[in-house]
Chain A
Amino acid sequence: MKDMTRLAMATLLSSTMLTGIAVAQDNVPEGVTLADDQTFTYRVLDEHSSVDPQIVEDVTGSEIVRDLFEGLMNQNADGELVPGVATGYEVSDDNLTYTFTLREDAKWSNGDPVTAQDFVYAWRRAADPETASPYQWFMGLTSVANVDDVISGDMAPEELGVRAVDDTTFEVTLSEPLPYFPQMTTHATLFPAPQSVIEEHGADWTDPENIVSNGAYVLTEHLPNERSTRERNEMYWDNENTVIDRTVALVINDENVALTRYLAGELDRTEVPAGQFPRLKEEYPEEAISFPRLCNYYYTFNLTDGGPEAFQDVNVRKALAYAVDRDIITERVMAGGQPPAYHFTPAATAGFEAPDLEWMNMSQDERDHAALDMLAEAGYGPDNPLEFEMVYNTSEAHEKVAVALSQMWKQKLGVDVTLANMEWKVFLEERGNQNFDLARGAWCGDYNEASTFLDLLDSESGYNDGKYSNEEVDQLLADAKTAENPNELYAQVEQILFDEMPVIPVYHYAGVYMLDSDVGNWPVDNVEQNWYSKDLYKVAE
């Protein structure tokens, strides 16, 4: 699967090539009898923030928006680009102008055709300060010409570098080349928006009775904190190949209750609570599934002057990182098939190849000994125990990991760790202001490339809460933006991170689900878990 992804990347990166020949994608394999009731019901943790494509910011909302609206490009089950509203695109020689060709049969749910003008409107809307979307940062990331000036209000939204050449030709001008730009069009922020409906209903346009959308589904019901339902959009251009008729998202806050309800047959999909996977896998081998995801989980040292002096010493940082028994965390605490992390970037990231780091070849016993030696070298031991506080946000799973880590350090190294859990907003505030010794961090990739992770440790990154700063890393990351083979540079960055250990990688996420065995085509190989109801189907039992 990895090879295919790389191939797809290579194809995309080579310019002036018309990609995506529309293949009639019949999702259902031959010989499968479909169920009469094609309803897919899944559990979500929290109520979604919005179903407005330009405003939505949470995963839950994005899942809904991806079904309701369709952007220029979609992702397939492997996370590769496939045509969406656009049948393909061309890139100019200087890699600055992208011309998307839209399909003529694309329609809104009210029957109006989807035109290039709808995209122009939506993109301007996303960047417009009036819209005040939290996802304006994403617009900034696209490097569409003038986008920063539009966001700051120095230029009118009309001056954004997007243009409707004609109804089916949409042209984007970038201010600098961006190899992964086409991938970004699969994100909700860049989906089209129905101008007439928004102008008619204002903020209420996303209500089920008003909303008009161009995806495979339309929103038919929204009961906040209870459920939302989307149903087949008869106007959708590929309606014939869509199998699932209804998708229902049930808000169930408690994961254990959600599992109970799954077992009672009320849900087709739910998350497995930490630690329960092995038991469920044994009992329901067909239904308990686990696959790698594009997220990492780590603890970051506070490297500023406000942090503990001990953490300025690389030996201390390394000792703590070495003493973490990752197999215990992944196999006994989380126990959901999470890969243990010895480097920052998840191995599942497209094209990324981890360098051969020294500690990956050691046994845990050897690592523990090395940790003791390094700590002793730094001057800490039984007479002078290392003391610090570790903070994490309130959550049962985070707490388990934190307790296990603290006990490992305590028992193996004699380190005195104080645990402090904080409510989410307080946690963000304290971590953002460097009021911590050691803090939990986690990141899910915005796109499938190593820089989405490694950029976090850039000196200038807003998320670099430990304030790690290394010129060489910054330079390598900057070079990677335009490099022929950026993954070599990423490997070098990982080597430096291993040598300096500014963060302790703990594990990489896995999607751990109970998925009803009659649900077909769940994209387990899509590491970003961008799934579309239209690609699923349900088998008759």
Chain B
Amino acid sequence: MISYIIRRLLIAIPTILILIVASFFLIHFAPGGPFTSERPLPPQVLANIEARYGLDQPLWKQLWDYLTNIVLHFDFGPSFKFKDRDVNDIIAQGFPISLTYGSLAFIAASVVGIVLGVVAAIRHNSWIDYAAVSMGIGAQALPNFIMGPILILVFTLWLGWLPGGGWNGGQWQYLIMPVIALSTSYMGNIARLTRSSMLEVLNSNFIRTARAKGLPTRSVIWRHAMKPMLLPVVSYLGPVFVYVLTGSVFVDLYFSTGGLGQAYVGSALSRDYAVLLGVTILYGSLTVVVNLITDLAYAWFDPKIRY
């Protein structure tokens, strides 16, 4: 088990290295540079700036400097756009925010989704089932970026219950709308997945046997059905966790939360090379780690799997 984890983490190192190199060249090949602006800078001014940021060096040298700075100083470089801050600052400021509302949305989506799915499966073909299924499908079919303006319109302008945006250190009033907006579509997915998985388990032979033996339904569900039922759900939840954190750009844009999603997309558009790379590395590493955790969780849920 431990050797498996170590092996996986070792494989992660070249993976992330390739990720860095690929992103590095990709973004450098994109048309326009960080200092392409509406008003073309005089050549001398541009030369000063490029010298300052090392952009006058050959690409391989820039890449090498970039990598050595990370390894030796854990320094991910400066931001070309936000000149008062560097990449470490930007990640240190934005990531906790994304992480907070992302995890809350993840928890909300999983808990509500699983409960909904289980209830729907147990009360198969009842009105609860139909309500849950339609809710799930509805939430899933709506593009989640339209949730932002709708929520703000309803809760801020019409009802006046919640502030229309901002983060304010993560006060609960400011958290509600981002979490709702982000969690709904996953909630629907999780509910549907749980329901079908639960139905399958409930119809399987070992549950039928347990029931036939006269065990009470509730204990059958809790003792025996839960683990196998959650198996496919868990494999879905892993990637969702990463997506919830990376895909939060629309939350940041609509709710001014200040998370990394906006910084990330913004850096690609403004060719803020170091910020883009820094956040890519963070997300790439996160993906690797979460994938590993998912696989380990898988092993716990399904004893047949051995590493």
A–B proximity contact (CB within 8 A): yes
CA distance A146 to B22 in the complex (A): 44
Q: A253-B253, A256-B149, A261-B164 are in contact. Are A224 and B258 (CB under 8 A)?
A: yes
Q: A254-B253, A425-B30, A428-B32 are in contact. Are A50 and B84 (CB under 8 A)?
A: yes
Which of chain A's residues has its CB closest to B40's CB?
Answer: A462
Asked if B58 lies at the interface with its beta carbon under 8 angstroms from chain A, I say: no
CA distance A227 to B35 in the complex (A): 25
Asked if B82 lies at the interface with its beta carbon under 8 angstroms from chain A, I say: yes
Bitwise interface map of B from 281 to 301 toward A, beta carbon under 8 Å scored 1, else 0? 000000000000000000000
Asked if A21 lies at the interface with its beta carbon under 8 angstroms from chain B, I say: no
Bitwise interface map of B from 62 to 100 toward A, beta carbon under 8 Å scored 1, else 0? 000000000000000000011111100010011000000
Asked if A134 lies at the interface with its beta carbon under 8 angstroms from chain B, I say: yes
Stretch from B105-113, B115-123, B155-163, B200-208 contacting the other chain: B155-163
Q: B residues within 8 A CB of A423? A: 269
B48 touches A151 (CB 8 A): yes
Bitwise interface map of B from 252 to 294 toward A, beta carbon under 8 Å scored 1, else 0? 1110111100110000011100000000000000000000000
Which of chain B's residues has its CB closest to A58's CB?
Answer: B81
Q: A residues within 8 A CB of B163? A: 266
Asked if A223 lies at the interface with its beta carbon under 8 angstroms from chain B, I say: yes
A134 touches B153 (CB 8 A): no
Q: A residues within 8 A CB of B30? A: 425-426
Q: A151-B45, A254-B149, A264-B164 are in contact. Are A426 and B85 (CB under 8 A)?
A: no
Asked if A247 lies at the interface with its beta carbon under 8 angstroms from chain B, I say: no
Q: How far does the Cβ of A209 sit from chain B's closest Cβ, in whole Å?
A: 13
Asked if B303 lies at the interface with its beta carbon under 8 angstroms from chain A, I say: no
Q: How far does the Cβ of A293 sit from chain B's closest Cβ, in whole Å?
A: 16
A260 touches B149 (CB 8 A): yes
Q: A residues within 8 A CB of B269? A: 423-425
Q: A49-B81, A132-B51 are in contact. Are A224 and B31 (CB under 8 A)?
A: no
Asked if A206 lies at the interface with its beta carbon under 8 angstroms from chain B, I say: yes
A134 touches B149 (CB 8 A): no
A50 touches B38 (CB 8 A): no
Q: B residues within 8 A CB of A55? A: 83-84
User: B258 is contacted by which of A51, A52, A226 (Cβ under 8 Å)?
Assistant: A226
CA distance A264 to B48 in the complex (A): 46
User: B157 is contacted by which of A51, A223, A263 (Cβ under 8 Å)?
Assistant: A263
Which of chain A's residues has its CB closest to B44's CB?
Answer: A152
What is the number of residues of chain A that contact chain B, defined by CB distance less than 8 Å? Answer: 48
Asked if B152 lies at the interface with its beta carbon under 8 angstroms from chain A, I say: yes
A253 touches B262 (CB 8 A): yes
Asked if B5 lies at the interface with its beta carbon under 8 angstroms from chain A, I say: no
Bitwise interface map of A from 422 to 437 toward B, beta carbon under 8 Å scored 1, else 0? 0111101110100000
Which of chain A's residues has its CB closest to B167's CB?
Answer: A226
> How many contacting A-B pairs (Cβ < 8 A)?
144
Which of chain B's residues has its CB closest to A435's CB?
Answer: B31
A134 touches B45 (CB 8 A): yes
Q: A residues within 8 A CB of B51? A: 129, 132
CA distance A426 to B36 in the complex (A): 9
Bitwise interface map of A from 56 to 90 toward B, beta carbon under 8 Å scored 1, else 0? 01000000000000000000000000000000000
Asked if B37 lies at the interface with its beta carbon under 8 angstroms from chain A, I say: yes
User: A129 is contacted by which of B42, B48, B53 (Cβ under 8 Å)?
Assistant: B48
Asked if A225 lies at the interface with its beta carbon under 8 angstroms from chain B, I say: yes
Q: A50-B82, A224-B94, A430-B31 are in contact. Are A257 and B263 (CB under 8 A)?
A: no
Q: How far does the Cβ of A115 sit from chain B's closest Cβ, in whole Å?
A: 25
Q: How far does the Cβ of B184 sit from chain A's closest Cβ, in whole Å?
A: 18
B32 touches A134 (CB 8 A): no
Asked if B166 lies at the interface with its beta carbon under 8 angstroms from chain A, I say: yes
CA distance A423 to B266 in the complex (A): 12
A225 touches B263 (CB 8 A): yes
Asked if B59 lies at the interface with its beta carbon under 8 angstroms from chain A, I say: no
Bitwise interface map of A from 294 to 336 toward B, beta carbon under 8 Å scored 1, else 0? 0000000000000000000000000000000000000000000
B36 touches A428 (CB 8 A): yes
Asked if A136 lies at the interface with its beta carbon under 8 angstroms from chain B, I say: yes
Q: How far does the Cβ of A453 sit from chain B's closest Cβ, in whole Å?
A: 13
Which of chain B's residues has its CB closest to A132's CB?
Answer: B52
CA distance A479 to B31 in the complex (A): 38
Bitwise interface map of B from 230 to 264 toward A, beta carbon under 8 Å scored 1, else 0? 00000000000000000000001110111100110
A252 touches B31 (CB 8 A): no
B256 touches A252 (CB 8 A): yes
For chain A residues 423-473, which have a beta carbon within 8 Å of chain B?
423-426, 428-430, 432, 462-463
Q: A227-B256, A266-B164 are in contact. Are A426 and B94 (CB under 8 A)?
A: no
User: A264 is contacted by which of B31, B38, B157 (Cβ under 8 Å)?
Assistant: B157
Q: A residues within 8 A CB of B86? A: 203
Asked if A47 lies at the interface with its beta carbon under 8 angstroms from chain B, I say: yes
Asked if A251 lies at the interface with its beta carbon under 8 angstroms from chain B, I say: yes
Q: A47-B82, A253-B256, A254-B254 are in contact. Are A425 and B165 (CB under 8 A)?
A: no
Q: How far does the Cβ of A28 sit from chain B's closest Cβ, in whole Å?
A: 30
User: A227 is contacted by which of B85, B93, B166, B253 (Cβ under 8 Å)?
Assistant: B166
A260 touches B38 (CB 8 A): no
Q: A residues within 8 A CB of B270? A: 424-425
Q: B residues within 8 A CB of A223? A: 93, 167, 258
Asked if A212 lies at the interface with its beta carbon under 8 angstroms from chain B, I say: no
CA distance A225 to B37 in the complex (A): 21
Q: How far does the Cβ of A525 sit from chain B's closest Cβ, in whole Å?
A: 26
Asked if B41 lies at the interface with its beta carbon under 8 angstroms from chain A, I say: yes
B39 touches A463 (CB 8 A): yes
Asked if A250 lies at the interface with its beta carbon under 8 angstroms from chain B, I say: yes
Q: B residues within 8 A CB of A359? A: none
User: A137 is contacted by which of B31, B39, B253 (Cβ under 8 Å)?
Assistant: B39
CA distance A260 to B160 in the complex (A): 11
Asked if B188 lies at the interface with its beta carbon under 8 angstroms from chain A, I say: no
A429 touches B36 (CB 8 A): yes
Q: How far does the Cβ of B171 sit from chain A's closest Cβ, in whole Å?
A: 12
Bitwise interface map of A from 104 to 142 toward B, beta carbon under 8 Å scored 1, else 0? 000000000000000000000000011010101100100
Asked if B49 lies at the interface with its beta carbon under 8 angstroms from chain A, I say: yes
Q: B residues within 8 A CB of A153? A: 48
A264 touches B49 (CB 8 A): no
Q: B residues within 8 A CB of A130? A: 52
Which of chain B's residues has its CB closest to A43's CB?
Answer: B256
Which of chain B's residues has its CB closest to A433's CB?
Answer: B31
Q: A residues within 8 A CB of B33? A: 425
For chain B residues 147-187, which have a beta carbon within 8 Å of chain A?
148-149, 152-153, 156-157, 160, 163-167
Q: Nearest 8 A-B pairs (CB), nearest first? A: A425-B32, A132-B52, A261-B164, A226-B258, A225-B258, A462-B40, A136-B45, A129-B48
**B residues with CB within 8 A of A:** 30-33, 35-42, 44-45, 48-49, 51-53, 81-86, 90, 93-94, 148-149, 152-153, 156-157, 160, 163-167, 252-254, 256-259, 262-263, 269-271
- Give 21 CB contacts A-B under 8 Å: A57-B37, A140-B45, A203-B86, A206-B84, A224-B82, A224-B94, A225-B256, A225-B257, A226-B256, A227-B166, A251-B258, A253-B253, A254-B148, A254-B253, A256-B149, A257-B152, A260-B152, A260-B153, A266-B163, A428-B32, A428-B36
**A residues with CB within 8 A of B:** 47, 49-52, 55, 57, 129-130, 132, 134, 136-137, 140, 148, 151-153, 203, 206-207, 223-227, 250-254, 256-257, 260-261, 263-264, 266, 423-426, 428-430, 432, 462-463
6 A-B pairs besides A254-B149, A257-B254 with CB distance below 8 A are A137-B39, A224-B94, A261-B157, A261-B164, A425-B33, A428-B37
